[in-house]
Structure 1
Amino acid sequence: MTQAPGTVLVSGMFDMNNYGDLLFPLVARQRLAEVGFDLLPVAPAGSRAAFSDALPTVDIDTMMDASRQPAAGILIGGGYIIHAHSLDFLDHYAGAGLGNWCGAGLWLGATLAAAMRDIPLAWNAPGVPHPFSARQHRLLAPALQAASYVSVRDEGSLRLLDPQGAADIAVVPDPIADLPRLWPKAQLAEDYRRLLARKGVPSETRLLALHLRNRSIAGIDQAALGAALRDFATGQGLTPMLVAVGESHDDPAVAREMAARIGAPLLMLDDPLSLREITAALAHSGLYVGASLHGYIVTAAYGVPGVLVARPRYNKFAGFLAQTGRPQDLATDWSEALRVAAQRQPATGEAFVPAAATTALDRHWDRIVTAFGAPGARAAQRQAFAMALLCGAVAAEGPAWAMAPFLNRRMRAEARAAGATAAASPTAQPESP
């Protein structure tokens, strides 16, 4: 190409200090750069995560405004972001009403932004955590039609997104399985050596990478679990490494509490300096046992044997294991996980992500690039979605909402105040789901 084809905006939870989420734009940037596209992440708050190698982001407002940031296309995901739930429980998004709508803003808002800009839209295999209501499906259908390419990362997400099987939706492996393409294992060796030196761990130490999330240990005897993890590591000749990959999920606090329960020499990675350092730690471990899907995906991609603790048993866990032909790596509790892990052989250097999955990801990125190379395709469907969204908003909010841009500031303020009063009235009826 003699001229760069432009910038692609990619939307997701890219301003949170969560390892897996922050890998998506890095992997996407590397793939799209191969064909000349630049990439700019979009996140709800538009802030930058606290890792030296996390990409800066712009907010959803900027995604909506072509005058502030030109773009050649919009890419949705990945991550567990296809939902309409409030994110107000996250301190990062609480206040100013951001948490109530930014979850939908990352994908439904991205679809609207593509329609407003009249540029192509594609999905980077995000996940769908929960069902949608019949009312929501009425708008979801034109949203799917507006995209030039739609993909999800597992069959469970497909069933939730399109229960009637009417849409053309691809199911592909989670794109993080591509990570060795960005950071080959040999290039991470020095990062790993620096980590061991920083933590005062001898270079010959073999590590058991452990990830514990509060949901995965809820309701169980944590003292007994700590003892079981200590005994297992000792029996395998491994040193436990507690990897806290999700700050917003309280992973560092959970890891520190479990370290006290284990009560043995270990490596505590609750202060990672970079995403690359976490990757190096996982890629050079001897074994992985944990509740993080992306912890498992990364270790599998680098040839480290592992067991995924599916507690609770989300679709995303079984989905990836089915795509890689590794259903035997799924455990429903920690006791089962340790029994299964005891049977795993040491790493041989061969990735546990088969060639078929890699080929599927190559085809996935080819379809994304093709979508962005055809800006006129699905233009009518994008506009049909925008009209459906407009009609739905007027029906839900009333005609005053649609007139707001034409009113002066005082009139808009009075209308908002009247709306807030009506919403707070005890006679107001809640909206049906």
Structure 2
Amino acid sequence: MAGSQVVPQPQTDIATILFGAFDRHNFGDLLFPHVVAAMLDDRKPVFAGLVDADLRRFGGHAIRAIGPLAAACGERRVNLIHVGGEILTCGAWHAAVMLLPLRDAHVVVARLDPRPEEALEWAQRRLGTRALAPYCVPQNLFPAARLIYNAVGGTGFRECDEALRTEVLANLRAADVVGVRDRETLAQLGAAGITARLVPDPAVMVAALFGERIARHARVGEIAQIRAAFPQGYLAVQFSADFGADATLDAIAAGLERSARSSGHGVVLFRAGAAPWHDDTACYARLAARLPATPLRIVESLDIWDICALIAASRGYCGSSLHGRIVAMAFALPRVNLLHPSAGERPGKQAAFAATWEPPEVRATVALEDLADGIGDALNAEPQQLRQIARELVERYRKEFDATRQRLE
């Protein structure tokens, strides 16, 4: 028709790559690509990590190694989204060890941990990259990519080696969008000249996006059995292997015993991560031996949807995992994080996230000697306030992700 304008059609063959540390078993990292993929609606993303891996048996994804994937993409235009997590401070050595089977990790750490230069060389050979912070993709790996950082963390960034900091900052400067999940990371990047958006962690969306899926997991299998075993309710409890010292376990046991006695709730222990340096069932067995009179179960399942269901069906969450806390937040449940005895004055990622998104009256962390009181404070939180926090986080994440989505090709 004369005078009509030709409207350009959007290019539809641009691949979207979701990249992150979901190539190993860690609860939060395995949730991120589910959330981002769901928020992308009709796109069919490629899931990528540092190595080829198949985490589908745990509710995760089949994952392609980023190096060969980059070689296959060549000069093609792609969208590459870093899906989240504390990736700004994750060095090559830690990344490579966490991708090993647990037995192999113990051998490698014993051999190389005292020799950091050799450790770094080993890690870079194993990962096939010279990167110091391999979960942050450099622009030259995907020359035509639109690079997105989605609600990432780096609360300990100022304490990292200068070489790693320099590399990460260069990668962030080359990105199209940088979103961080807490004000501590935001401030540190801002001081280094990086402009970033403040975005809640993707896991705040699990109830809104996957509520029915999680409810199905609560009705069957091990989670259904646990719910039946604790008609009076239970506290979902978790802590990482570095809480395994005898004195630390004694303090945790004393706090949980007192809490169970006063509240009438049982204790259910679960693992939020099975990768090296994460959670250890041997620690849980040692804790259970200290609580002979407390109703207690140890969950075997490592399926992320079972873990979500366990938390969602609980009276509240207590543990060291940030994402145990965030899933409890998503379901408007009481929560409190354990403070490791060695933490000192450093605000960990748990405290940083809570300080960013929760009001002061919702307790962030508790020292082990105050564990029972901390759990009691959490359980006494105002339910309406917890529901309001959950709603506001969903609204904020949707708004921020919509703005990010506008930047995609």
Shorter-chain TM-score tier: 0.7 to 0.9
Listed one character per residue, the Cα deviations across residues 130-171 of structure 1 (whole Å, up to 9, x for unaligned) are: 33555555554442232110111112223443423x222112
What's the counterpart of residue 125 of structure 1?
A: 151
Q: Distance in 2 between matches of 1:222 and 1:203?
A: 23
Question: Does structure 1 conserve the Cα–Cα contact (< 8 Å) formed by 2:243 and 2:249?
Answer: no
What's the counterpart of residue 353 of structure 1?
A: 389
Listed one character per residue, the Cα deviations across residues 181-211 of structure 1 (whole Å, up to 9, x for unaligned) are: 2211x55334213234445843634111111
Q: Distance in 2 between matches of 1:352 and 1:142?
A: 38
Q: Distance in 2 between matches of 1:29 and 1:275?
A: 16
Q: Distance in 1 between matches of 2:252 and 2:323?
A: 22
Change (3 A) 1:299 1:292: same
What's the counterpart of residue 353 of structure 2?
A: 320
Change (3 A) 1:71 1:180: farther
Q: Distance in 1 between matches of 2:372 and 2:392?
A: 29
Report the CA distance between 1:294 and its aligned residue. 0.3
Q: Distance in 1 between matches of 2:75 and 2:250?
A: 52
For 1:329, give the aligned amino acid.
R
For 1:143, give the aligned amino acid.
N
Query: What TM-score comes out, normalization by structure 2 length?
Result: 0.79
Report the CA distance between 1:45 and its aligned residue. 1.7
Picking from 11, 15, 21, the partner of 1:13 is 21
Q: Distance in 1 between matches of 2:357 and 2:186?
A: 18
For 1:64, give the aligned amino acid.
A
Picking from 183, 198, 202, the partner of 1:175 is 202
What's the counterpart of residue 338 of structure 2?
A: 309
Question: Does structure 2 conserve the Cα–Cα contact (< 8 Å) formed by 1:284 and 1:304?
Answer: no
Picking from 46, 49, 61, the partner of 1:43 is 49
Q: How does 1:318-397 map to 2 (within 5 A)?
A: 318-327=351-360, 328-343=362-377, 344-345=379-380, 348=383, 351=387, 353-373=389-409
Change (3 A) 1:220 1:159: farther
For 1:267, give the aligned amino acid.
R
For 2:136, give the aligned amino acid.
W
Deviates more, 1:197-206 or 1:57-66: 197-206
Deviates more, 1:253-262 or 1:214-223: 214-223
For 2:404, give the aligned amino acid.
I
Residue 73 of structure 1 aligns to a residue in which SS?
A: strand
Question: Does structure 1 conserve the Cα–Cα contact (< 8 Å) formed by 2:148 and 2:175?
Answer: yes
Change (3 A) 1:216 1:159: farther
Q: Work out the percentage of aligned pairs sharing the same amino acid.
A: 23
Change (3 A) 1:101 1:226: farther
Consecutive unaligned residues in structure 2, runs of 5 or more? 1-8, 109-121
Residue 219 of structure 2 aligns to a residue in which SS?
A: helix
What's the counterpart of residue 209 of structure 1?
A: 236
Picking from 139, 144, 151, the partner of 2:172 is 144
User: 1:86 and 2:93 equivalent?
Assistant: yes
Change (3 A) 1:265 1:140: closer
Consecutive unaligned residues in structure 1, runs of 5 or more? 374-433
Listed one character per residue, the Cα deviations across residues 93-149 of structure 1 (whole Å, up to 9, x for unaligned) are: 87672258566222134x33232xx02110011111333555555554442232110
Q: Distance in 2 between matches of 1:68 and 1:198?
A: 50
Change (3 A) 1:157 1:53: same
For 1:124, give the aligned amino acid.
N
Picking from 201, 208, 215, the partner of 1:189 is 215
Q: Distance in 2 between matches of 1:105 and 1:316?
A: 20
Query: What TM-score comes out, normalization by structure 1 length?
Result: 0.75
What's the counterpart of residue 265 of structure 1?
A: 295
User: 1:28 and 2:36 equivalent?
Assistant: yes
RMSD: 3.0
Q: Distance in 1 between matches of 2:283 and 2:131?
A: 27
Picking from 291, 297, 303, the partner of 2:320 is 291
Question: Does structure 1 conserve the Cα–Cα contact (< 8 Å) formed by 2:88 and 2:136?
Answer: yes
Q: Distance in 2 between matches of 1:20 and 1:89?
A: 18
For 1:188, give the aligned amino acid.
I
Report the CA distance between 1:219 and its aligned residue. 6.8
